[in-house]
Amino acid sequence: MLILTCPYCGVAADETELTPGGEAHLTRETVGADDAAFEGYLFKRENPKGVHFERWRHAYGCGKWFHAARCTVTLEVFGTYPAQTTEPPKDIRDKITAKRPGWSWRDFG
Amino acid sequence: MSDILVKIHRAAPYGMITLRGDLSSTALQKAATDAAGVAFPETGMCVFEGKSGLSWMSPDELLVLMPHDQIQSTLAQIEKALNSTHFLAADVSDARAMFTITGPHWRDVLAKLTPADVHPDSFQQGHFRRTRLAQVPVAFWQSSADTVTLICFRSVADYVEGLLVNAGRAKSNADYF
């Protein structure tokens, strides 16, 4: 069972109170993007064994979207952070580095 | 009846106003506290005095509670106070139903139905928890030592009542808390 703490209301929300929103920090390619970039935006997703960044919505609570960093193998949650960012904040990345040295996810790590 | 573990009461229609806006603005805080006559709630909390109260719903939403006959006057008061600012105040009383669950085992009854942590260490008087009760969204707060008040959408009130009555049967007492 996955329990994520909503960064907006501070509630430790059970997985069933949340709506999954897929991979985090996607760049939305739009008018003017070349085909490869658009294909990447539409179809290319990470499928990591280990550190992963995801979007979640606190659907049965405050209703806000937020980000979560977790391990797909152990379900360990490294941290959650608000949605108003385009990359994982430094404190979250430092926490992951402390627990999973040598991790990488897309261009991070 | 001896089969009943907790008393479940479906409350008469209650006044509820959704107030959305910038909760950090002093104008909105003042309008809300003036309307309800209570202090401004902290994140995830609610404040009650008598029959009026303020509940923190989300970073940009408050629920103002008041007796049913004061809805229009409270709404007018909020609208007057926040005139010319960006906000939303809507009477949602008819969309909601309210239950009170009374008895020393209310935590056992709730814990059967919701994933929320209702242990006395994490859920106490003053906390306002929006969560899920079986399949529907609800919010509840502890209104006295052995009473919890729960609100849900009125369209699912019969379902919620059924859940609570079933979980509140004496023979099904988990007696955990």
Burial class (CB in 10 A: 0-12, 13-18, 19+), A73: exposed
Span B2-35, pLDDT tens digits:
688 999 999 999 999 999 999 999 999 999 999 9
Asked if residue B126 has pLDDT above 90, the reply is yes
Break chain A into its structural domains and give their ranges.
3-99
Q: Per the structure block, which two tokens stand in for B57?
A: 């719903």
**Contact (CB<8Å) A17/B131:** yes
Instruction: Give contacts of A 52-81 with B, CB under 8 A.
Output: 60-64
pLDDT score, position A109: 78
Span B128-177, pLDDT tens digits:
999 999 999 999 999 999 999 999 999 999 999 999 999 999 888 888 98
Span A78-101, pLDDT tens digits:
999 999 999 999 999 999 999 999
**Contact (CB<8Å) B59/A63:** no
Asked if residue B1 has pLDDT above 80, the reply is no
Asked if residue B107 has pLDDT above 70, the reply is yes
Chain A hits for B58, Cβ within 8 Å: 8-9, 61-64
Q: Per the structure block, which two tokens stand in for B30?
A: 């003042």
Q: Which of B19, B15, B18 is nearest to B28 (CA)?
A: B19
Span B83-98, pLDDT tens digits:
989 999 999 999 999 9
pLDDT score, position B2: 62
Break chain B into its structural domains and give their ranges.
7-11+95-172, 15-94
**Contact (CB<8Å) A17/B132:** yes
Residues 6+ apart with CB under 8 A from B51: B65, B66, B67
Q: Is residue B135 less than 8 Å (CB to CB) from chain A?
A: no
pLDDT score, position B33: 96
**Contact (CB<8Å) B44/A60:** no
Three-class DSSP category at A71: strand
The residue of chain A nearest to residue B58, with distances taken between CA atoms, is A62
Q: Is residue B137 less than 8 Å (CB to CB) from chain A?
A: yes
Q: Which of B133, B81, B84, B86 is nearest to B106 (CA)?
A: B133
For chain A, list residues with pLDDT below 50.
Answer: none
Q: Is residue A9 less than 8 Å (CB to CB) from chain B?
A: yes
Share of chain B above pLDDT 70, in %: 99
The matching CATH number, chosen from 3.20.20.30, 3.30.2270.10, 3.40.50.200, 3.40.50.150, for A3-99 is: 3.30.2270.10
Are the beta carbons of A56 and A21 closer than 8 angstroms? yes
Q: Which of B10, B73, B48 is nearest to B143 (CA)?
A: B48
The residue of chain B nearest to residue A5, with distances taken between CA atoms, is B116
Span B27-66, pLDDT tens digits:
999 999 999 999 999 999 999 998 999 999 999 999 999 9
pLDDT score, position B111: 96
**Which CATH architecture is the domain B15-94 placed in?**
2-Layer Sandwich (3.30)
For residue B80, give how far its alpha carbon lies from the nearest alpha carbon of chain A (Å): 27
Chain B hits for A17, Cβ within 8 Å: 115-116, 131-132
pLDDT score, position B52: 95
pLDDT score, position B3: 81
Q: What's the topology of domain B7-11+95-172?
A: Gyrase A; domain 2 (3.30.1360)
Q: Per the structure block, which two tokens stand in for A101?
A: 């040295």
pLDDT score, position A33: 93
Q: Is residue A12 less than 8 Å (CB to CB) from chain B?
A: yes
